[in-house]
């Protein structure tokens, strides 16, 4: 019975978080691209398209189109693969390689294999070398219309920002998340001021996502399903205006979608108290609050997924 329940939960999770659905939207790969990007293979050194490549622009993931590297961070290390000493914020995930020694780098969005990262080699001031397979990348020249690769941003407040970030971060199509403060009056507040409850700010999460891979509606539904939108200024044990439920929309479409979802929830009997406000300013919170649960290895205490739609 317990095994059946676990399988059921996994199916529900995949459906709700769109894992299978969004994967279908990824670009089709050739056999060789699959060998490198999916099966973590390596192209021969000095063979790739971008090993000697100095045009201005940026590099996106061949699999999912997420922006990964800028040409200004590319340098010639002589190793035979494109080398970058920096990445676009939040675009790359580091994992321990299957060899147990090296650090593999994958696309944060789709998990596609890119290569490895090495530190302390003194090639550049940043002292970091992302050694990347050309075949994992697609170059986009600077002069090309970058609109397609722009990301959309959503801002959600629903109690302690650690928990909201934890759930949003792992949604396929989400490129980056940051926790911070918004909706109040105090300029550049710090956490102590927020705790006083007098700044007017809510703990909030900025979610940058690729709208071609995940919709605002899907994120907004998830937001309602990982917190309790029916309690005023409270989530579980956390009480205060900083823990209120609020969506800071960045355009009219986000506003309409949010209003519609609230209507659906109300029709289902939820007395939703979530506020809708126009985005004004987001103050990034202190470093130790960013990606808190992943860094601390712990789990959210009051944000759990409960299906509502």
The binder of Zn ion chosen from 37, 60, 92, 110 (CB under 5 A): 110
Q: What is the CA radius of gyration of the chain?
A: 21
The binder of Zn ion chosen from 60, 64, 205, 247 (CB under 5 A): 64
Tell me the β-bridge partners of 205. 156, 179
Q: Which of 61, 107, 110, 160 is catalytic?
A: 160
Q: Is 61 in the site for Zn ion (CB under 5 A)?
A: yes
Count of residues interacting with Zn ion (CB under 5 A):
8
Percentages helix, strand, coil for the chain (3-state, rounded to 5) are 30, 25, 45
Q: Which of 61, 64, 110, 131 is catalytic?
A: 131
Query: Are the C-beta atoms of 182 and 157 separated by less than 8 Å?
Result: yes
The binder of Zn ion chosen from 18, 82, 112, 183 (CB under 5 A): 112
Task: Tell me, yes or no, if 61 is annotated catalytic.
Answer: no
Q: How far is the CB of 137 from Zn ion (least distance, A)?
A: 10
Q: The tokens of 78 are what?
A: 């002589």
The binder of Zn ion chosen from 22, 77, 83, 109 (CB under 5 A): 109
C-alpha to C-alpha distances, 124 to 68, 129, 194, 199, nearest whole angstrom? 19, 8, 40, 43
Query: Are the C-beta atoms of 107 and 137 separated by less than 8 Å?
Result: no
The binder of Zn ion chosen from 107, 140, 154, 272 (CB under 5 A): 107
Query: Are the C-beta atoms of 61 and 109 separated by less than 8 Å?
Result: yes
Task: Tell me, yes or no, if 16 is annotated catalytic.
Answer: no
Q: Is 135 in the site for Zn ion (CB under 5 A)?
A: no
Q: How far is the CB of 87 from Zn ion (least distance, A)?
A: 12
Q: How far is the CB of 193 from Zn ion (least distance, A)?
A: 38
Q: Is 36 in the site for Zn ion (CB under 5 A)?
A: no
Helix (H) or strand (E) holding 219: helix 216-226
Q: Which is nearest to 117 in space by CA: 126, 128, 133, 106?
A: 128
Q: Any idea which residues carry the catalytic annotation?
A: 131, 160
Task: Give me the residues that bind Zn ion (CB under 5 A), please.
Answer: 61, 63-64, 66, 107, 109-110, 112
């Amino acid at each position: 019975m317990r095994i059946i329940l676990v399988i059921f939960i996994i199916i529900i999770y995949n459906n709700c978080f769109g894992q299978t659905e969004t994967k279908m939207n990824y670009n089709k790969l050739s056999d060789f691209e699959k060998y490198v990007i999916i099966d973590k293979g390596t192209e021969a050194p000095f063979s790739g398209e971008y090993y000697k490549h100095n045009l201005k622009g940026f590099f996106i993931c061949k699999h999912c189109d997420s922006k990964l590297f800028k040409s200004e961070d590319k340098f010639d290390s002589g190793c035979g693969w494109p080398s970058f000493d920096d990445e676009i914020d939040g675009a790359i995930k580091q994992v321990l390689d299957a060899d147990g020694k090296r650090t593999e780098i994958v696309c944060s969005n789709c998990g596609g294999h890119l290569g490895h990262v090495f530190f302390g080699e003194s090639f550049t001031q940043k002292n970091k070398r992302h050694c990347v397979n050309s075949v994992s990348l697609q170059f986009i020249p600077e002069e090309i219309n970058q609109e397609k690769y722009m990301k959309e941003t959503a801002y959600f407040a629903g109690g302690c920002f650690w928990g909201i970030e934890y759930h949003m971060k792992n949604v396929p199509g989400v490129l980056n998340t940051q926790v911070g403060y918004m909706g109040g009056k105090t300029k550049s507040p710090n956490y102590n001021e927020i705790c006083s409850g007098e700044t007017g700010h809510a703990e909030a999460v900025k979610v940058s996502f690729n709208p071609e891979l995940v919709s605002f509606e899907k994120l907004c539904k998830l937001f309602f399903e990982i917190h309790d939108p029916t309690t005023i200024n409270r989530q579980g044990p956390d009480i205060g205006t900083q823990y209120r439920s609020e969506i800071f929309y960045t355009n009219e479409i986000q506003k309409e979608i949010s209003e519609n979802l609230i209507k659906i929830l109300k029709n289902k009997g939820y007395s939703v108290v979530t506020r809708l406000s126009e985005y004004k300013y987001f103050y990034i919170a202190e470093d130790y609050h960013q990606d808190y649960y992943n860094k601390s290895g712990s789990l959210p205490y009051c944000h759990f997924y409960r299906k509502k739609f």
